[in-house]
């Protein structure tokens, strides 16, 4: 049965398994549905759909190691986490990067910090 959610996002990934494992582990999201070309991760009230980039497009995408930051993207995913410090450790453990504490700042009652997932997609974690 599908969860009820209030907000969601769709993210394209070259390596579906890697990106799924990253967001599942770092954000403690549950796999709601999975097929060869997509996976649905969810928690109340959020749903993240990760779609595998089609092969003819994926073959032209190079993911560097460590991944190059995709700072020119027109969107940044934002997630509330209980602890930026704990999220930093989990992010690194699962192939991403959360910027160091000296790059954190305060915004609208949150402590915030940007990072990148294993494919270089920029995200932001916010801690109350």
Section 76-85 average pLDDT:
95
What pTM was computed for the model?
0.87
| Intra-chain end-to-end CA distance of the chain, in Å | 31
- For the chain, give the mean pLDDT: 90
Section 97-114 average pLDDT:
97
pLDDT at 58: 66
Residue 29: how many CB atoms within 10 A of its CB?
19
Task: Report how far residue 100's alpha carbon sits from residue 124's, in angstroms, rounded to the nearest whole number.
Answer: 13
- Which residue reads 């910027």 in tokens? 99
Section 9-24 average pLDDT:
95
pLDDT at 3: 61
pLDDT band, residue 68 (cuts 50/70/90): confident
């Amino acid at each position: 049965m599908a969860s009820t959610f209030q907000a969601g996002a769709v993210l394209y990934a070259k390596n579906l398994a890697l990106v799924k494992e990253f967001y599942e582990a770092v954000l403690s999201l549950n796999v709601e549905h999975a097929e060869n070309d997509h996976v649905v991760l969810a928690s109340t009230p959020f749903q993240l759909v990760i779609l595998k980039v089609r092969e003819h497009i994926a073959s032209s995408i190079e993911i560097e190691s460590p991944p190059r930051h995709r700072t020119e993207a027109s969107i940044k995913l934002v997630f509330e986490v209980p602890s930026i410090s704990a999220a930093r450790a989990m992010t690194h453990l699962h192939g991403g990067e959360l910027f160091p504490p000296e790059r954190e700042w305060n915004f609208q009652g949150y402590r915030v910090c940007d990072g990148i997932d294993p494919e270089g997609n920029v995200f932001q974690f916010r801690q109350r």
